[in-house]
Amino acid sequence: MITFDGADRNVCTVRRQSTSTPLQALALLNDTQLVETARHISQRMLTEGGHTLNEQVSWAFRWVTGRKASAREQEVLEELLVEQRKIFAADPDATEKLLAVGDRKNDSSFSRIDLAAGTILAKALLNHDEALMRR
């Protein structure tokens, strides 16, 4: 709980503080379960999120945080997804390495590049304070 700035159990708190400790980011970005979770979100985004980049990013943000993304958030996340697609298209080994994390098998009906890029997008969203705390 210290990693996530959790309150001490001997004190009652009405509202938790917003948190963004470096250790929290490290735990959330590198944990095997969270990488698998991000890949599952990516698969759902590709299945249920719509056909356009805008629809998919909007769906993922709302699914993870419970609210609609602001225009700026939407723009940044779309840029991230496009950038990650280019990176994974240029480095097939990185794509396979990311998609090999965890026990659950990938859905083979998706483009490996799109799935990997969506996984990075979902990892970024899962690292958002609003993904950890509903206010």
Residue 9, domain member (yes or no) = no
Residue 127's pLDDT band, with cuts at 50, 70 and 90, is confident
Query: Residue 115 carries which side chain, given as an amino acid letter?
Result: L
44-82: pLDDT as tens digits: 999 999 999 999 999 999 999 989 999 999 999 999 999
Total domains in the fold of the chain = 1
Half-sphere exposure of 82 (CA within 13 A, CB side): 9
- Asked if residue 35 lies in contact with residue 101, where contact means CB atoms within 8 angstroms, the answer is yes
Residues of the domain holding 85: 22-132
Residue 7, domain member (yes or no) = no
CB within 8 A of 130, min separation 6: which ones?
64, 65, 66, 67
Residue 46, domain member (yes or no) = yes
CB within 8 A of 125, min separation 6: which ones?
41, 60, 61, 64, 65, 77, 131
Centre a 10 Å sphere on the Cβ of residue 46 and count the other Cβ atoms it contains: 20
Inform me whether the pLDDT recorded for 95 exceeds 90: yes
Q: 2-8: long-range contacts (C-beta < 8 A, 24 or more apart)?
A: 3/27, 4/132
Residue 10, domain member (yes or no) = no
pTM of the entire predicted model: 0.80
Indicate if the alpha-carbon torsion angle 69, 86, 115, 121 is positive or negative: negative
For residues 5-30, average pLDDT: 66
Residue 16, domain member (yes or no) = no
